[in-house]
Amino acid sequence: MSSSTIAEVDMTANTSAPTIRATVVQASSVFYDTPATLDKAERLITEAAGLGSQLVVFPEAFIGGYPLGLNFTDRTLKGKESFRRYHASAIDVPGPEVDRLAALAGKYKIYLVMGVIERDGYTLYCTVLFFDSQGCYLGKHRKLMPTALERLVWGFGDGSTIPVYETSFGKLGSVICWENRMPLLRTAMYAKGIEIYCAPTADPTATWQSSVTHIALEGGCFVLSAIQFCRRKDYPPPPEYIFSGTDEDLTPDSVVFAGGSVIISPLGTVLAGPNHEGEGLISADLDLGEIARAKFNFDVVGHYSRPDVLSLNVKDHQTSPVTFASTKATAEDFHKS
């Protein structure tokens, strides 16, 4: 056998790209009932693991719920009570719910990406939590920019929680809902090398699939978009919970979030979904070699960048409204001055 033949065989043997199975969950929360929502999450994780999934992604605000229909401008006692109940449904990070999710990830040997409403004191954040297949909590991403009336009930994240995690199958991160329309945030994620780009949302809107397809092509990454599918009956009945101005037009089976979960390859191919029919799991085998094939043509922060013309400065430190500095100077400090 000639040396050239040996080289050819070796190259073929060493360059095959791995494939992983990923699942996005399309389902609704059990609103105002976090223990029941966690039980539902466990059932769905068990089902996804039974499909051989190595990565499972849940929608935005799955634990804690998306407060569709709540009147955030209501500052009466009724509105304040609605916020109290919503605050009570949120979870602390870290906390017992986080521990339970970590244990599930470890039990089923999956990477888990979970949308939650995070409670930090009396401020709520729309947050994504990350867990590895060993059952370890990795960290979180807080939504930087809540959309529209979300701003009246959710706090704003900062640059300290826009992580990308190295996994056994590539670099994993998440951008939530309409954050995905923020080109500078996307660029920051691309610069961190994101390869498995999770885009959970609650309401897809008519143009959502176009947006996530563009992101897959722009970033040369897989995009996994998990979206809630909710009917009116998934929320508490009236008069306990009323969808402002529309509730009289709704039946218990009326669809209020229409799903559309989808998995898209770095070349813009729809690998699974969209599902607009109901709750369910959407799975696909991701050929990780597609990332390099896509980057050959267009690497947005690589050979297609122009740092001599365009640059981005990301403030990735934590911000705080209050800092403390001691006003007491010791005698030694005085003499040093």
**CA separation for the pair 97, 41 (Å, rounded):** 11
8, 42, 47, 60: which one is catalytic? 60
218 annotated active-site: no
**CA separation for the pair 193, 159 (Å, rounded):** 16
Tell me if 133 sits within 8 A of 54, measured CB to CB: yes
Q: For the chain, what is the radius of gyration of the CA atoms?
A: 22
The helix/strand/coil state of 59 is: coil
**CA separation for the pair 35, 136 (Å, rounded):** 21
* Cis? peptide before 238, omega within 30° of 0: no
Lookup result for tokens 């092509």:
217
**CA separation for the pair 171, 190 (Å, rounded):** 10
The helix/strand/coil state of 145 is: coil
Dmax over CA atoms of the chain, in Å, equals 85
Catalytic residues: 60
